[in-house]
Amino acid sequence: MSKALANPWAGRFSETMTAGLVAFNTGLPLEERLFESDIDGTHAHIEMLRSVGLLESAEHAALAGALDEIRHEWRSGDIKLQVELEDIHMNLEALLVRKVGELGKKTHTARSRNDQQATAQRIFFMRSTRELVDAIGNFQQALLEHCRQHPDLLMPSYTHLQRAEFTYYAHWLATYVVMLERDRSRFLDALARADQSPLGACASTGTSLPIDRKYSASLLGFREPTLHSIDSVSDRDYLVEFGAHAANLMIHLSRLSEEIISFTSQEFGFLALGDGYCTGSSIMPQKKNPDVPELVRGKSASVIGNAMTLMTLLKALPLGYNKDLQEDKTAWFAALDNCMSSLGILTELVRTMKPLPERMRQALQGGHIIATEYANYLVRKGMPFREAHRVVGELVKLADSRQADISSLPHADFAAASALFSEDIHTITAEDMATRKNSYGSCGGQALGELLAQLQSLLDAHQASRWSVHP
Ligand code: ARG
C-alpha cells in the first residue's frame, strides 16, 4: 500500500478511504462557512506558539503571511476545498504546506482538530449571533417607527379571537417589540456564557507542551479560556441554547405573521401589505397573497425542529469528541439562516404595511366592545365589580336579542338595569376610555408614549454599547 495517502492521519492505515466513505464522512459543504474562523483560530494559535517559544519568529512570520494569502485567495474564490481531505482543518493545513512546505505541519503543534473545530465554531458563533442580535434590533426599530407613525389609531383587541376591548394599533404592534426584546436579551445571555476559548484543549485532556491558553483566548477576543479540556471538545450547550432561543424568536415571528395574515384578510381588512411583498394567483385574478408572513410561519416549524435536533444530538453522547457532533452544523446553520432571512424580510415588509383605519373603526362598533367600560362606570359609582359585570351582561343579552350593539340601547333599558346609570353613560366612547387607560403598560396615550420611549431607549442603549466588550 502506498504511503502517498492524502490524509495526514494515514500512517497507520493500509487502505485509503473508499469513495463511499469520503462522500458520507465529509462535513465540508456546511463547514466551509467556518473556514475563515479556522484561519482566525490558526492565527491566534501560531502567535501563541511563538510567544512560548514553540515557533521561531521567522517561522511565525512565514505562517502568518501564508494564512493571510489563503484568506485573500479564499475571498477571491480561488480556493476549492477538497472533500478527500475530510474537513476544513486538513484542507487549511494542506494549503499551508503547499505555501510554506514542511513548516506548515508545525501549526498542528499542541492542537487537535477537536479543539480546532470547537474554536472555529465558537468564533463563528460569537460573530453570527451578534449579527442576529443586531437584526432583531433592526426589526424592533422598524416596528417602533411604524408604531410612532400611527399613534392615535384605535382597533379591537382580542381574547379567544373574539372582540374583547379596544386598544391602539400602536399598542397592539408594540407587543412584538417587547417580545423581541426578550429574544434579544436571551441571545445576549447565551453570548455571555459562550464567550470562552476552547483552543488548547487539544484532543481532550490538554497537552504537555507549554502553551498559554489565556493568551490565545485574548487574541481571539474571548473573555477567557474554557475551564476544562474534556468539556471544551464535548460541549455544544451553547448551540442548544441558540436553538431554543431561535425557536422562541421564530415562534414570536410566527405569531406576528399569523396576525398579519388574519388582519390582511377580507374578513378583518385592518392592514394592507405593499404589492412588492405579495404574490398573485395563477388562476384567480383578484388574489393578493401574503406569502412572506406565511413563509415565516412555515419556517418556524423547521427552526423548532432544529432545536429538537440539537438536543437529541447531545442527549446520550459520551464525553470527548464524537463524529456525531459534525451534525450540529446542519441544525445550527439552518436555524440561523431562517432567523436571519425572516427578520430581514419582515423588517422590509413592516415598512410597507399600511393600517386601514376605517375597517378598524367599523370593527369597534359591534361586539359590545364597550361593555367592560360600562361595568367600570358602575364601579365608579360604588357597585361591586362582580355585580356590575352581571348588570352589563344582562344588557348585552338584551341587545343581542334585538341584534343591536349595547351602545345603541335606549336609556330606559339602562335605567331599568340599574338606578346608578345616568344619562352620562351615553357619553362614554371607546376613544375616551382608551385615552384614560394610563396605568403602567396600558394602551392609553400617555402610558403608550412612555412605553414607546422606554423601548427606544433600550434599543439606543444597545446601539451605544454595541459589542464594546468584543471587537
Ligand atoms: N467535520 C468535523 C466536525 O464538524 C471536524 C472535526 C473533526 N475532528 C475529528 N476528530 N474528526 O465536527
Question: Which tens digits make up the pLDDT trace of 181-234?
Answer: 999 999 999 999 999 999 999 999 999 999 999 999 999 999 999 999 999 999
- Quick check: 85 pLDDT over 70? yes
Taken as a whole, the chain contains a residue count of 471
Q: Whose CA is nearest to atom 4 of ligand 1?
A: 326
For 231-360, strand residue ranges (E) read: 271-272, 354-355
- Quick check: 179 pLDDT over 70? yes
Domains in the chain with CATH codes? 3-109 (1.10.275.10), 114-362 (1.20.200.10), 366-459 (1.10.40.30)
The owner of cell 388582519 is 263
Q: Whose CA is nearest to atom 2 of ligand 1?
A: 326
* Model pLDDT for residues 270-327, shown as the tens digit of each residue: 999 999 999 988 888 888 999 999 999 999 999 999 999 999 999 999 999 999 999 9
- Quick check: 462 pLDDT over 90? no
Residues 273 and 348: beta-carbon distance below 8 Å: no
- Quick check: 5 pLDDT over 80? no
Confidence of residue 433 (pLDDT cuts 50, 70, 90): confident
Ligand 1 mean position to 381 CA, how many Å? 73
Ligand 1 atom nearest to CA at 325: 12
Residues 154 and 364: beta-carbon distance below 8 Å: yes
Ligand 1 atom nearest to CA at 89: 5
Query: What's the average model confidence in pLDDT over 4-31?
Result: 84
Q: Is 281 a catalytic residue?
A: yes
Ligand 1 mean position to 114 CA, how many Å? 6
Confidence of residue 436 (pLDDT cuts 50, 70, 90): confident
Q: What pLDDT is stored for residue 1 in this prediction? A: 36
Q: Whose CA is nearest to atom 7 of ligand 1?
A: 113
Nearest to 249 by CA among 347, 181, 196, 310: 181
Ligand 1 mean position to 170 CA, how many Å? 49
Query: What's the average model confidence in pLDDT over 127-140?
Result: 96
* Model pLDDT for residues 399-411, shown as the tens digit of each residue: 999 999 999 999 9
Query: What's the average model confidence in pLDDT over 421-429?
Result: 93
3-state SS, residue 154: strand
340: left (phi over 0), alpha (psi -120 to 50) or beta: alpha
- Quick check: 90 pLDDT over 90? yes
Q: Which residue of 83, 87, 313, 321 sits with most ligand 1 atoms within 8 Å of its CB, as the best mutation to test the pocket?
A: 87
Amino acid identity of residue 57, one-letter, is S
Ligand 1 mean position to 39 CA, how many Å? 16
Q: What pLDDT is stored for residue 8 in this prediction? A: 78
Confidence of residue 468 (pLDDT cuts 50, 70, 90): low
Confidence of residue 39 (pLDDT cuts 50, 70, 90): very high
Lowest mean pLDDT of 30-34, 88-92, 331-335, 432-436, name the range.
Answer: 432-436
Residue 34, Cβ neighbours under 10 Å: how many? 25
% of the chain with per-residue pLDDT over 70: 97
Pairwise CA distance, residues 40 & 127, whole Å: 12
> Maximum CA pair distance of the chain?
104
Nearest to 106 by CA among 56, 164, 52, 145: 56
Ligand 1, CB within 6 Å, residue ranges: 27, 31, 87, 113-114, 117, 321, 325-326
- Quick check: 469 pLDDT over 50? no
Distance of CA 335 to the CA centre of its chain: 9
Pairwise CA distance, residues 43 & 24, whole Å: 30
Cell of 44: 491566534
Q: Which residue of 17, 90, 122, 323 sits with most ligand 1 atoms within 8 Å of its CB, as the best mutation to test the pocket?
A: 323
Ligand 1 mean position to 326 CA, how many Å? 6
Ligand 1 mean position to 30 CA, how many Å? 12
Query: What's the average model confidence in pLDDT over 128-132?
Result: 96
The active-site residue, picked from 160, 208, 282, 439, is: 160
The continuous run of DSSP H or E covering 389 comes out as helix 385-401
Nearest to 111 by CA among 204, 31, 27, 194: 204
Q: Give the mean pLDDT of the chain.
A: 94
- Quick check: 453 pLDDT over 90? yes
Q: Which residue of 81, 108, 113 sits with most ligand 1 atoms within 8 Å of its CB, as the best mutation to test the pocket?
A: 113
- Quick check: 3 pLDDT over 60? no
- Quick check: 163 pLDDT over 70? yes
- Quick check: 22 pLDDT over 90? no
Residues 199 and 213: beta-carbon distance below 8 Å: yes
Q: How far apart, in Å, do the first and last CA atoms of the chain sit?
A: 50
Q: Whose CA is nearest to atom 12 of ligand 1?
A: 326
Q: Is 76 a catalytic residue?
A: no
Q: What pLDDT is stored for residue 464 in this prediction? A: 73
- Quick check: 466 pLDDT over 80? no
